[in-house]
């Protein structure tokens, strides 16, 4: 059984009936349920398609946070070979929220980085729900330096509600670590591809996503602050989350229109959590195409293209 979101209750009712019928049939081998199951499954599939064709921004936020959505570790398992993790920032500590590695992507040596939220209580606590400390962003800088030194393309998979905002993080220079990581992104002379696979929250996401190509999965979100944070600041009323999500224009569709991202990666009908392997394969295909496009550029052209991309973005938005 899936974990159902609030707006998926009609789907849950139909799929629940299918499960009940199959349980009854397991107890009575003579019970004929094929026709009923087929009819219910057809209605459920049609309902999933209809609901997901008209999601509101707030509903997309909920899908981006779905517990069954594939996380960084799932992508690492399916997309990369010879995945060798790098631990620690060589200054303070290891941050489990940020995973950095050297690996092979379809036979090509690459540097990989991303946030891991965890999939259950134990792993979520271990990875601090994907919210990195300063040492996580210093580890990112270390990976970028290695990629630069050995000429490795960088692949980033972003999934965080934001950098950790606790006192300990601030005491250890969180803002500076994020700024220097972003600067390191802009200075890279190797192809850099970032994909928002779930949430892309604030500078915590931008610090490893200032790339030549930035993609978003269809139901992911990317914003300067969470809808809850925005509602708290502007209205001081938590029930304004939906209004905040709509006003912030944080969906992939909005951001493609604004020129903030380069393309939207399609998800299976019903979200990535309903077709994990298909969603991961779609991301892999998009990354492969981008690497092929950027491979013809010289190191200086790669860096210049990335810098020009962000400078133009500001000018274009101001003109609008």
pLDDT higher than threshold 60 for residue 51: yes
What average pLDDT does the chain have?
Answer: 92
Q: In 127-263, which ranges are continuous DSSP H helix?
A: 134-150, 167-171, 174-187, 202-206, 227-234, 241-248, 252-258
Residues 292, 281: Cα–Cα separation, whole Å: 17
Beta-bridged to residue 120, according to DSSP, are none
**Signed CA dihedral, 6, 279, 132, 254: sign only:** negative
Number of H helices, E strands in the chain: 14, 8
Domain at 61-319: CATH code: 3.90.226.10
Taking alpha carbons only, the member of 77, 142, 86 closest to residue 105 is 77
Question: Would you kindly state where each structural domain of the chain is located, as residue ranges?
Answer: 6-54, 61-319
Residues 174, 167: Cα–Cα separation, whole Å: 10
Tokens coding 152: 């490795």
Residues 115, 136: Cα–Cα separation, whole Å: 9
DSSP 6: G
Q: How many CB atoms are closer than 10 A to CB 105?
A: 20
Residues 267, 265: Cα–Cα separation, whole Å: 7
pLDDT at 318: 56
Residue 35: half-sphere exposure toward Cβ, Cα within 13 Å: 2
pLDDT in tens, 186-242: 999 999 999 999 999 989 999 999 999 999 999 999 999 999 999 999 998 878 999
- 138-147, 249-258, 311-320, range with the lowest pLDDT: 311-320
pLDDT higher than threshold 60 for residue 249: yes
Q: In 65-133, which ranges are continuous DSSP H helix?
A: 72-79, 121-126
Residues 58, 49: Cα–Cα separation, whole Å: 18
pLDDT in tens, 52-64: 999 999 999 999 9
Q: What's the predicted TM-score (pTM) here?
A: 0.91
């Amino acid at each position: 059984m899936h974990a159902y979101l609030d707006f998926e209750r009609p789907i849950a009712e139909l799929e629940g009936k299918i499960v009940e019928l199959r349980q009854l049939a397991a107890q009575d081998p003579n019970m004929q349920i094929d026709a009923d199951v087929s009819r219910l499954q057809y209605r459920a599939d049609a309902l999933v398609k209809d609901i997901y064709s008209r999601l509101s921004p707030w509903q997309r936020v909920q899908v981006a946070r779905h517990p069954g959505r594939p996380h960084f570790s799932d992508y690492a398992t399916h997309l990369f070979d010879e995945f060798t993790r790098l631990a620690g920032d060589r200054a303070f500590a290891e941050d489990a929220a940020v995973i950095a590695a050297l690996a092979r992507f379809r036979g090509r040596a690459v540097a990989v980085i991303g946030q891991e939220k965890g999939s259950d209580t134990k792993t979520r606590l271990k990875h601090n729900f994907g919210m990195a400390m300063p040492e996580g962003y210093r580890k990112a800088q270390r990976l970028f330096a290695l990629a630069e030194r050995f000429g490795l393309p960088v692949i980033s998979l972003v999934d965080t509600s934001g950098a950790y905002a606790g006192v300990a993080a601030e005491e250890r220079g969180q803002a500076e670590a994020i700024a220097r990581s972003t600067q390191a992104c802009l200075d890279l002379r190797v192809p850099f591809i970032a994909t928002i696979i779930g949430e892309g929250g604030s500078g915590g996401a931008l610090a490893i996503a200032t790339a030549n190509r930035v993609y978003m999965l269809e139901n992911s979100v990317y914003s300067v602050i969470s809808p809850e944070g925005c509602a708290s600041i502007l209205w001081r009323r938590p029930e304004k989350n939906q209004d905040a999500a709509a006003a912030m224009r944080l969906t992939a569709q909005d951001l493609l229109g604004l020129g903030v991202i380069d393309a939207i990666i399609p998800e299976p009908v019903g979200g990535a959590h309903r077709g994990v392997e298909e969603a991961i394969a779609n991301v892999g295909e998009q990354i492969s195409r981008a690497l092929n496009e950027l491979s013809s550029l010289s190191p200086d052209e790669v860096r210049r293209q990335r810098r020009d991309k962000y400078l133009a973005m500001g000018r274009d938005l101001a003109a609008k």
